[in-house]
Amino acid sequence: MKIVVLDGYTENPGDLSWEGLAQLGELTVHDRISYSESPEIAEAIGSAEIAVTNKTPLSAATMDRCPNLKMIAVLATGYNVVDCAYAKKKGILVANVPTYGTQIVGQYAVGLLLEICSHYQHHSDTVKAGRWQNSTDWCYWDFPMIELSGKTAGVIGLGRIGQTTARILKAMDMRVLAYDTFQSDAGRALAEYTELDVLLAESDVIFLHCPLFPETEGIINAANIAKMKDGVIIINNSRGQLVVEQDLADALNSGKVYAAGVDVVSTEPIREDNPLLSAKNCLITPHISWAAQAARQRIMDITAENIRAFQAGAPVNIVNL
């Protein structure tokens, strides 16, 4: 069985091994294939039965050009790069990796918040530039130092990652509100479930941990921002399309939103005309919440198991049944 990895470099820039996949078939690994619709994607898949992708799109047109394709394995939890409905029509199974990054993504979300609250890197840079040793004062700070204890955090999406974030926030003595259409006892142990408008109105910090669905696309928009407290902080390391970026930029520039920390944007890699690039108090990182080696190893291991289960006739983690 032929297996083709379309964009392997991000998952494995050299510190992991593809051996687990190589044991399952004739493996070809491409470091990079187009991240937009292109004939080269179908050319790279060729006669393979299994295509492995992270962010290279698998469209209906591409699937039509790959008559041997039987499975698409996504090296991620999100699978919106695949036309899953069309894959189902073609009898192509789509598998994802649902739980590899729970801890690191929650950790990263809180890390973005802590950097906003204390500006560690900025102050370290000024010390190394000689400012402290030449200061007439015992210490200095260039931004307000924000204490989180006693403040309210709102988590939109209280699944596995949202619960990890909530657990860390509770350890910092924050009140945690949550909005999620699916409520659980595990969630109730960590947060107070509430309506979205209540969360927006009462939160000092808002975290986005929800999937990208039609009902969540653009959930951070001008109308919802207007319902928030003045000076709110917004953290998004879920999906860029959850945010109407011009609306968030306008709110940052007006001061309605004090700061934002985002690890995701609507088009990735980021475009030079993205309004968040020039917005005030906007911390942007290049979609790396998931990228700890331990998390990427779990992606590799679970993807191999997804393919092994498919070959055995008992597929797992299928998202388009």
**pLDDT single digits (tens) 175-209:** 999 999 999 999 999 999 999 999 999 999 999 99
Expressed as residue numbers, the domain containing 55 is: 2-100+293-311
How much is the pLDDT for 80? 87
> Which residue is associated with the tokens 């619960």?
163
Q: Is 319 part of any domain?
A: no
Q: Is 170 part of any domain?
A: yes
Tokens (6 digits) for 242: 């959850």
* Given the residues 239, 245, 296, 298, the one annotated as active site: 239
Same domain, 224 and 160: yes
Residue from 268, 274, 264 nearest 55 by CA: 268
Same domain, 58 and 121: no
The whole-model pTM stands at 0.92
Same domain, 167 and 242: yes
Same domain, 162 and 273: yes
How much is the pLDDT for 247? 99
Q: Is 115 part of any domain?
A: yes
Same domain, 66 and 111: no
Quick check: is 160 catalytic?
Answer: no
Same domain, 254 and 110: yes
> Which residue is associated with the tokens 């500006």?
119
Q: Is 198 part of any domain?
A: yes
Q: Is 317 part of any domain?
A: no
Whether residue 177 contacts residue 200, with contact meaning beta carbons closer than 8 Å, is answered with no
How far apart are the C-alpha atoms of 25 and 202, rounded to whole Å?
54
State the CATH number of the domain containing residue 68: 3.40.50.720
How much is the pLDDT for 35? 82
Question: Residues of the chain whose pLDDT is less than 70?
Answer: none
Quick check: is 239 catalytic?
Answer: yes
Whether residue 3 contacts residue 21, with contact meaning beta carbons closer than 8 Å, is answered with yes
* Given the residues 32, 122, 268, 271, the one annotated as active site: 268
Residues shown for the chain: 321
Q: Is 316 part of any domain?
A: no
Same domain, 138 and 74: no
Domain count for the chain, please give it.
Answer: 2
Q: Is 70 part of any domain?
A: yes
Same domain, 221 and 279: yes
Same domain, 124 and 72: no
Strand locations in the chain (E): 2-5, 26-29, 50-53, 71-74, 93-95, 152-156, 175-179, 192-193, 205-208, 232-236, 257-262, 282-284
How far apart are the C-alpha atoms of 297 and 311, rounded to whole Å?
21
Same domain, 53 and 157: no
Q: Is 119 part of any domain?
A: yes
Same domain, 196 and 60: no
Same domain, 159 and 215: yes
How far apart are the C-alpha atoms of 217 and 210, rounded to whole Å?
10
